[in-house]
C-alpha cells in the first residue's frame, strides 16, 4: 500500500516528516503509518496543480476522457486488492466493497471519461450580424475533501467530473481512511496521468483541509462531510471568494404507506439504513410507517435486522462490519443514551455484539428505536446502524413528519398508488426521492440536497457544471455599428 503524499506525480514524505496512524476498525490494530500533510505540503501540491493546469486544460477533451477510461479499467483490474484495502481501512464488508463500491468507482470514472468530449457549449440567438457562443471553461485548481465512509467511491465522484472538465485537483482524503485514495493515485500515475494533474494530501481538517479552504490559488472547494464543518468551510472560503460545493448530512425519511408491498419495503428499509453500518448521508434513518401496517411491518423488520451477520469485514460471509472509528462508535452509543432518556423504546439491538472475537473492534448491533419525531435522535444525524420509527394516519401527517427536520438530502416512499407516489415525491423537500426503492445511485443522476444538507450536485451533467464556468464570446460578423457619439 502507498502511505506517502502524492504531489507532482511522485509519492513523497511530508515536509516535516510527520505521520499518523490509520487503524483496522475490526480489532483496532495499526494498518499503516501515513504521511501527514500540513500547510507547506498543501502549498506544494497547489503549486504543482497550478503548473500542470494550462497544459491539461488545453488537452483535447477526448484525450482527457481516454485517460479516465483507462483509469476505470485499471481500477477494475485491481478490484480484489483495492476492495480488500478499503475493507481493512473502513470496516465495510468485503462483499460490499468488492460487489458495490469498487464497481461504482470504476463506473463513475468511465461515465465521466465518456462525458469529457460531450459536454457542449451553446450558441445564443442574439442581434442580427453577431455570433454569440458560450463554452464551459475549467476553473483551474480545485480543492476536494472526501469523507471516511465511502472513500474509494467518493474519490471517483470528486475526481471524475473535475478532471473531465479540464481542472487539476488537490484532494485531501480523510485521516481515518486514506489508503484507497492513495492507491487510486498510484493507478492514475501508472496509466499515464501527467504529473500535477492529481495530487493527494492526506491529513487533518484543521491543517491540510483548512489550507485548501484558505489558499488563494484554489478556485473551488468541494467538500463532503458534516453540516457543521460545511458551515465553517463556507465562511472561510468567503475570504478568497472561491466557489464552494457542499454535500453534507442527511436524516432520510422512509415512508411506508398502507398499500405498500411489505416484503419489498422491509428489505429496502433494511438496506437503506444498515448498509455500511448506517454510515451514509443518504441512510434511511427515519422510518415513517402507517399505523395500520405498523405491527406486521415491524415484526418482519425486527426479525430481518436480528438475522444480520456481524463479523470480520474481511470474511465474505459478513453482512455488517464495525463502525469505522472508535470515536464514531462512541457517538452512536451517545445517541442510544439520549434516546433512552427521551423515552425511546429499543425494539432490537442497541448494544455491542456478544461474540468475543469482536470485542476489540468498533461494533454495535443494528438498532431500531421507536420514538417521537421531535426527539434528538430523530432530528440529528446519528450516522450509524440506528433507525428511529414513527407512525402516521394520513398522507399529510406523513409529509409533515418527513419534512420536519432541517435536512433535505434524500427520502423514500413505498406505495402501490401511482398518483400518491408522484404527489408525495413532489412535496418532499429533498434533492432525491426513491419510490419503491431506496439509496439507488448512478453516475448520470444528480446527487445532492437542500437545507443543511448543502448545495451543489455530484454526478451527471450537473457535476460538470460544478467544475466549469460559462464563457460567452461575441463575434461581429457583419453588423453595422453606428457611432454612439457624434461630434
Which are the catalytic amino acids?
A: 247, 281
Q: Which residue has the cell 484558505?
A: 214
b/e string for 374-394 if b means 16 or more Cβ within 10 A? ebebbeebbbbbbbbbbbbee
Q: How many CB atoms lie within 10 A of CB 484?
A: 5
CA-to-CA distance for 397 and 403, rounded, in angstroms? 10
CA-to-CA distance for 366 and 308, rounded, in angstroms? 8
CA-to-CA distance for 450 and 258, rounded, in angstroms? 28
CA-to-CA distance for 336 and 346, rounded, in angstroms? 9
C-alpha separations of 160 from 7, 176, 294, 466 in Å = 18, 22, 43, 12
Q: Phi and psi dihedrals of 351, rounded to 5? A: -155, 170
DSSP 310: B
C-alpha separations of 219 from 38, 139, 161, 245 in Å = 19, 6, 15, 11
Q: What is the DSSP string of 424-480?
A: HHHHS-SSEEEES--S---TTS-B--EETTEES-BSHHHHHHHTEEEEEEEEESS--
Closest CA to 297 of 433, 364, 392, 402: 392
CA-to-CA distance for 332 and 116, rounded, in angstroms? 41
Strands 407-408 and 450-451: antiparallel
CA-to-CA distance for 305 and 271, rounded, in angstroms? 10
CA-to-CA distance for 457 and 463, rounded, in angstroms? 6
Give the CA count within 13 Å in the CB-facing half-sphere of 249: 18
10 Å CB burial of residue 105 (0-12, 13-18, 19+) is: buried
Amino acid at each position: 500500500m502507498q502511505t506517502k503524499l502524492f504531489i507532482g506525480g511522485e509519492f513523497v514524505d511530508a515536509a516535516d516528516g510527520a505521520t499518523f496512524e490509520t487503524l483496522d476498525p475490526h480489532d483496532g490494530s495499526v494498518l499503516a503509518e501515513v504521511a501527514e500533510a500540513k500547510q507547506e505540503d498543501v502549498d506544494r501540491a497547489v503549486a504543482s496543480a497550478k503548473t500542470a493546469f494550462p497544459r491539461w486544460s488545453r488537452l483535447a477533451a477526448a484525450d482527457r476522457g481516454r485517460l479516465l477510461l483507462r483509469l476505470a479499467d485499471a481500477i477494475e483490474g485491481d478490484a480484489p486488492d483495492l476492495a480488500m484495502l478499503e475493507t481493512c481501512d473502513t470496516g465495510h464488508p468485503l462483499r460490499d466493497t468488492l460487489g458495490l463500491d469498487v464497481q461504482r468507482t470504476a463506473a463513475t470514472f468511465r461515465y465521466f471519461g465518456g462525458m469529457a468530449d460531450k459536454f457542449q457549449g451553446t450558441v445564443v440567438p442574439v442581434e442580427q450580424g453577431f455570433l454569440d457562443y458560450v463554452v464551459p471553461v475549467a476553473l483551474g485548481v480545485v480543492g476536494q475533501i472526501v469523507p471516511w465512509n465511502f472513500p474509494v467511491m467518493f474519490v471517483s465522484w470528486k475526481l471524475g467530473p473535475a478532471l473531465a472538465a479540464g481542472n487539476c485537483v488537490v484532494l485531501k482524503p480523510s485521516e481515518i481512511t486514506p489508503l484507497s485514495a492513495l492507491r487510486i493515485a498510484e493507478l492514475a500515475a501508472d496509466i499515464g496521468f501527467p504529473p500535477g494533474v492529481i495530487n493527494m494530501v492526506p491529513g487533518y481538517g484543521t491543517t491540510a483541509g483548512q489550507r485548501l479552504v484558505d489558499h488563494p490559488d484554489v478556485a473551488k472547494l468541494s467538500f463532503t462531510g458534516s453540516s457543521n464543518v460545511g458551515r465553517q468551510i463556507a465562511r472561510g472560503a468567503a475570504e478568497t471568494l472561491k466557489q464552494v460545493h457542499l454535500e453534507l448530512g442527511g436524516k432520510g425519511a422512509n415512508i411506508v404507506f398502507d398499500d405498500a408491498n411489505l416484503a419489498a419495503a422491509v428489505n429496502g428499509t433494511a438496506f437503506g439504513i444498515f448498509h455500511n453500518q448506517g454510515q451514509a448521508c443518504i441512510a434511511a434513518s427515519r422510518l415513517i410507517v402507517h399505523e395500520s401496517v405498523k405491527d406486521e411491518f415491524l415484526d418482519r423488520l425486527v426479525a430481518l435486522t436480528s438475522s444480520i451477520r456481524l463479523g470480520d469485514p474481511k470474511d465474505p460471509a459478513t453482512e455488517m462490519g464495525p463502525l469505522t472509528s472508535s470515536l464514531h462508535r462512541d457517538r452512536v452509543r451517545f445517541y442510544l443514551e439520549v434516546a433512552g432518556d427521551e423515552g425511546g423504546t429499543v425494539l432490537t439491538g442497541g448494544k455491542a455484539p456478544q461474540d468475543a472475537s469482536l470485542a476489540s473492534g468498533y461494533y454495535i448491533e443494528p438498532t431500531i428505536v421507536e420514538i417521537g419525531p421531535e426527539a434528538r435522535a430523530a432530528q440529528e444525524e446519528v450516522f450509524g446502524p440506528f433507525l428511529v420509527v414513527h407512525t402516521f394516519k394520513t398522507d399529510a401527517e406523513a409529509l409533515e413528519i418527513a419534512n420536519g427536520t432541517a435536512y433535505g438530502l434524500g427520502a423514500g416512499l413505498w406505495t402501490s398508488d401511482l398518483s400518491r407516489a408522484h404527489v408525495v415525491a413532489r412535496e418532499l423537500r429533498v434533492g432525491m426521492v426513491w419510490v419503491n426503492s431506496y439509496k439507488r445511485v448512478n453516475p448520470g443522476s444528480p446527487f445532492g440536497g437542500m437545507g443543511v444538507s448543502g448545495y451543489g450536485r455530484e454526478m451527471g451533467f450537473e457535476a460538470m457544471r460544478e467544475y466549469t464556468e460559462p464563457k460567452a464570446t461575441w463575434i461581429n460578423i457583419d453588423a453595422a455599428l453606428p457611432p454612439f457619439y457624434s461630434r
